[in-house]
Amino acid sequence: MQRCCFDCDYFEIEGKDVSEMTEADWRNGCAEGECRFHPPVLGPEIERDGDTFRCFGEFPKVLSSDWCGQFKPRTT
């Protein structure tokens, strides 16, 4: 197992459960997913038609080939 987001317990790809991921997901090498290590964070304020608002919070976007110091090997 490599140290990469794809093999990390905190990685979620496009709303799929990790057990639904295929080798093709990995071979693509740049599949985008979300890191669920931390709760969602609010994005920047957006101004539209004179109103200022914030969208829902988002989880950080990561690539399957990324990794960080919080890597935890996937157990499922």
**Which residue number, 21 or 66, has a Cβ lying nearer to ligand SF4?**
66
Contact 19, 11 (CB under 8 A): no
Residues in 1-60 that interact with ligand SF4 by CB under 6 A: 5, 8, 10-11, 35, 37
Contact 64, 6 (CB under 8 A): yes
Q: Which tokens is 40 given?
A: 């969602």
Contact flag: residue 68 with ligand SF4 (CB under 6 A): yes
Least distance to ligand SF4, CB of residue 23, Å: 19
How does DSSP classify residue 29? S
Neighbours of 20 (CB within 10 A): 10
Least distance to ligand SF4, CB of residue 76, Å: 14
Interface residues toward ligand SF4, by CB under 6 A: 5, 8, 10-11, 35, 37, 62, 66-68, 70-71
